[in-house]
Chain A
Amino acid sequence: GEDVEQSLFLSVREGDSSVINCTYTDSSSTYLYWYKQEPGAGLQLLTYIFSNMDMKQDQRLTVLLNKKDKHLSLRIADTQTGDSAIYFCAESTSGGKLIFGQGTELSVKP
């Protein structure tokens, strides 16, 4: 069945780049997403990538997709303390449903 895996924790220093990795299993996924969840809040759609792309850049965010290896990454440049949150990778399935990874908790230290 479909499965999405992420590492659980990442700690970086303010100003460094953060790279959050994700692997997925459904090769038919049309879109892959990154969501951000701050404490006590819902999910904020950060960015998404269409499966026929291998890179997408949006300001400080860069998404890389290796479809052959079913590997997705999110790079945050110049990480700030406000970026501390849980980041979820998700893949789309039929009918618009999303399968989520476990979430990566990003901790940014000053």
Chain B
Amino acid sequence: SAVISQKPSRDICQRGTSLTIQCQVDSQVTMMFWYRQQPGQSLTLIATANQGSEATYESGFVIDKFPISRPNLTFSTLTVSNMSPEDSSIYLCSVGYRGTNEKLFFGSGTQLSVL
């Protein structure tokens, strides 16, 4: 399994500001994803972080609001831009290895509250 370090673990932010969340993995991974879990809800995929190229966003999510970087096979960032209270959620990094069993592992998440 992968050891995933996600920072910060929680933050309280003011409306209109931006927050960058980091995801560091202890080994090179093929796949990295960012998910959002709104209060009391299930997980929704925001985007696939592609190494060395632009992320692939799911319907309803755009690069201007959620810019993502992935400079190498072990690190990615997600920025939540121009935040509003509706962005209050848990944001989770997920990683996996493409192969015979595509297990996906999750970081511990970033609990974001926007005032």
**Per-position 1/0 for B27-49, Cβ under 8 A of A:** 00011010000000111110010
Q: Which of B12-20, B66-74, B81-89, B95-103 contacts A (4 or more CB under 8 A)?
A: B95-103
Complex CA–CA separation, A92 to B33 (angstroms): 13
| Inter-chain CB contacts under 8 Å: number | 55
A42 engages B41 (CB within 8 Å): no
Contact of B101 with A31 in the complex, beta carbons under 8 Å: yes
CB contacts under 8 Å to B, within A1-50, are 30-31, 33, 35, 40-45, 48, 50
The answer to whether A95 and B48 touch across the interface, beta carbons within 8 angstroms, is: yes
Q: How far is the CB of B97 from chain A (nearest CB, A)?
A: 9
Contact partners of B104 in chain A: CB under 8 A: 33, 45, 96, 98
B contact patch SS:
strand
CB distance from A20 to the nearest CB of B (A): 14
On chain B, the residues within 8 Å of A101 by CB distance are 42
CA distance A43 to B45 in the complex (A): 14
Chain A residues with CB under 8 A of B45: 97-98
Number of interface residues of A (CB under 8 A): 22
Report Cα–Cα, A102/B39, bound state, in Å. 12
**How far, in angstroms, from A88 to B35 measured CA to CA in the complex?**
14
Contacts of A48 in B (CB 8 A): 101, 103
Give residues in B with beta carbon < 8 Å to A.
1, 6, 30-31, 33, 41-45, 48, 92, 94, 96, 98, 101-109, 111
